[in-house]
Amino acid sequence: MKPVLFLRIASGLTFVHGALHAVNMIVSKPAQGPPQIAVAAMKANVFPLMGMTRSYWDFYMGMGLAGGISLIAEAIVFWQLSSLARSNPRLVRPMVATFLVGYLALAVNSCTYFFAPPVIIELLIALFLGLAFIKSKRFELPR
């Protein structure tokens, strides 16, 4: 199999990961009891920062949405890299390697601070990036 296919699969998985992350940030509501109390405390803690008034909830929501936006942007980059890999696979190797290491680090982070579903999808993305990296070495550059 060529690296193009592996990068396209990584792109699709990353898009799903980003879309679910963003949608979850927008539509999920805290459960009753301690989760609602924690959210209320985050919203109540308002403070001035760099000329704006923000709460810990604003930072939580902003960073959560930023994560989803970044994942969707990465999905687009993976698709673009797959097109580049069609004509010049060795050229994409350093970029694929960078994202591979990043997704392995994300999986460790998710395992440490979150839960299984993001760990699984991040490891799958890393797997397909790793396969794309390996397969891109086997093709020679046109001369």
pLDDT tens-digit map of 38-92: 999 999 999 999 999 999 999 999 999 999 999 999 999 999 999 999 999 999 9
Give the three-class secondary structure for 76. Answer: helix
Rounded distance between C-alpha atoms, residue 27 and residue 102, angstroms = 28
Place of tokens 């924690």: 38
Other residues' Cβ atoms within 10 Å of the Cβ of residue 77: 15
Q: Which of 69, 41, 68 is nearest to 55 (CA)?
A: 41
Kindly report, residue by residue over 81-134, the tens digit of the pLDDT: 999 999 999 999 999 999 999 999 999 999 999 999 999 999 999 999 999 999
Distance CA 79, CA 130 (A): 15
pTM confidence score: 0.89
- pLDDT recorded at residue 143: 52
Q: Would you list the domain boundaries of the chain?
A: 3-137
Check: CB of residue 3 under 8 Å from CB of residue 135.
Answer: yes
